[in-house]
Structure 1
């Protein structure tokens, strides 16, 4: 993982992009990371993983709420039948 000052990065964009294909390149201002350049495929995977994790957390929260309220979940087969989706 490399760090480069924004002022130095201005003239090195092509090489920073090449470096970012291997590992993230952190852009710094006053020696503090303020942004990162990463490979586009890696970013896509991170965003996909984050969405999946958000879905998992939402399911966990729904189950927790169901337990707290003492409710019984409706079986999926019943839901499909009620919506006319059962085959």
Structure 2
């Protein structure tokens, strides 16, 4: 992880992009973090992990719901999987 001033990053953008291929580069303005530069591959991994976490949370919430459970055979039939 690196922290670079926005003004410096602007003048060294190719270097910042190269550095972001291996680690997150935080951009700071007046002592406050403003943005993060990451590689497209890392971004995709982070997005996939977030979506997985959201799916797990939705699954957990659905298990906690009260009410009648629908049998798996009925679900498959409703979805046209049988």
Would the TM-score normalized by the shorter structure come out above 0.5? yes
Q: Please give the residue correspondences for 1:7-86 in structure 2 after superposition, counting only pairs within 5 Å.
A: 7-66=7-66, 71-86=67-82
Q: Which runs of 5+ in 2 are unaligned?
A: none
State the structure with more CA Rg: 1
Deviation per residue, 1:41-67 (Å, 9 max, x gap): 00001101111111111111111123x
In the superposition, the TM-score normalised over structure 2's length comes to 0.89
Q: Which runs of 5+ in 1 are unaligned?
A: none
- Cα RMSD, aligned residues only: 1.4
Deviation per residue, 1:1-31 (Å, 9 max, x gap): 1101101111100000111111000000111
Cα distance, 1:3–1:78 mapped onto 2, change above 3 Å: same
Equivalent residues, number: 82
